[in-house]
Structures are given as C-alpha cells and as structure tokens.
A = this chain, B = another copy of it.
Amino acid sequence: MASAPTSGQNAGQTPAGSRPSGRAVDELRKVVLEPGFAKHAEGSCLARFGDTHVLCTATVEERVPPWLKGGGKGWVTAEYGMLPRSTHTRTDREAARGKQSGRTQEIQRLIGRSLRAVTDLAALGERQIRIDCDVLQADGGTRTAAITGSWVALHQAIATLKRFGAVKSDPLVDRVAAISCGIYKGVPVLDLDYAEDSDCDADANFVLTAGGGLVEVQATAEGDPFSEAAFMELLRLARKGTDELASLQLAAVG
C-alpha cells in the first residue's frame, strides 16, 4: 500500500496511465442518464456508465405482496438480469438454466433495499412499484448503474402517480445513487471498469443519498484483506462520485 495516495486532496493528480482508461483516480466514466427510453413503462431510464448500459423500467401495480395486504403501505421491489451476450464471453441465459444465480438474487435484493430507503412507503399507498434492470452491455459496475438509473425510472413512475392524484404527499424523500470503488494496483480508485474490476485487490459498492446518508456499504477483499485506511479512502471517493451522480439525476428528471 506504499503507493497509496497520501492524501485524498491530490488524488486527482495521479499520473494518467495508471488506470487502463487513463482516468484520474477520482474520475467517473462518462455517465448518461436517458429517461423515458422505454415506450410502454410508467417510468424508465437507460443508464450508461461508459460501456456499461443498463435499461431500468418501473411498473406500477395496484396490489402489494401478501404480507402487506390491508396495511395501507406500498412496496418497491426489483429484478435484475443480463442479456446473454452483454458480457465479453457469452453467459448462459438464466431463463434457460431455470434459475437465477446467487449473484443475481444478491443484486436485485440490493437494488430494492436501496430504493426503499428513500421511499416513504406509507405515502406511496397500497401499491407496488416493480423495477426491472436489464444489462444490455456490461463493462463493470452494472449494479451501481442499475441503482442510479432506477431512481430516475422510479421518479418518473411516481410523477405519473402524482399527476393523476393517486398519491397525496411525495413518496420520494431523497435521491439515492450508487457507485463502485476499488483498490487497483494498490491505489484506491473510483468507478471500476471491467479491466480494473477483474484485476483489483478489493472492490466496494456504496449506496449513498444526496442528503449525505449511508444506505448500503459493501466492501470485499478479492485477495488479501485491506486496511482500514484504504477503506476510508474508498468511502471518500464514493461520496465524491455519488454527489456527481445525484446532480445528473436531478438534471435528468428536472
């Protein structure tokens, strides 16, 4: 870890070339959030983080899961999938294999929790919003792009509910965005692409609100354990990244 930046302040000055993409350590890929991409859905957003493209849609259903019936509260849930050839080499189609992988289930549970953390379920009323995140092309960071884009789709769907007077107060209490960070060749960096993700020492996903709160923190050593100091730097980078993403979200729904 000798090569780790001694301070977060000058992280942006790391010489270009240390990352395969030439990005600075605290630099996001080019992010584009394109709302309304899907013709039929109540809300949708194509989230592009560099070559990672995730289509997020929101579907409003006027019913809730059985365990919520009659309680007056709503629900937000998510499903996630990858097109078989979104990846560098083809991945088997989960529908053909007859089950979703553990990774898929982990990701869709994460997306649902992240969105519920900024949703007032009582204000939503007894209805469910289903988020579908489908990866059209993958180059690292699909789950964080999915969360970031889903918030936009969710916002659209809720805007429709508001327009029709179906909700009285705004169920969306904050923006939520997510980004991955990792330790690549000993250096904490922001927004891993596939080249970095497949060769890093640790990777982490942070789900943070525009208001400054932590919703989810997941950090994993890929090989050796990592230090607390390195972890602190990952968190600092993530904050910088999600602040930028939250601004893009605001612009997208503005």
Contacts and interface: CB of A to CB of B under 8 A. Distances in A.
Interface string A200-216: 00001000110111111
A51 interface: yes
A237 interface: no
A73 B213 CA distance: 42
Q: In the assembly, how many copies of this chain are there?
A: 6
Nearest to A46: B136
A169 to B, nearest CB: 17
A231 B218 contact: no
Interface in A66-112: 79, 81, 83-90, 93-96, 98-106, 108-109
Nearest to A100: B95
B38 A85 contact: yes
Given A38-B85, A79-B96, A218 B221 contact: no
A192 to B, nearest CB: 17
Interface string A41-62: 1001000000100010101010
A106 B109 contact: yes
Contacts of A106: 102, 105-106, 109
A167 interface: no
Nearest to A118: B225
A220 interface: yes
A100 to B, nearest CB: 5
A148 interface: no
B83 A132 contact: yes
Interface string A150-175: 00000000000000000000000010
A242 to B, nearest CB: 12
A130 interface: yes
25 contacts: A38-B85, A38-B86, A38-B137, A39-B51, A39-B139, A40-B86, A40-B87, A59-B89, A79-B84, A79-B93, A83-B134, A96-B100, A99-B99, A102-B102, A102-B108, A102-B109, A105-B105, A204-B217, A208-B225, A209-B225, A213-B225, A214-B221, A214-B225, A214-B228, A215-B221
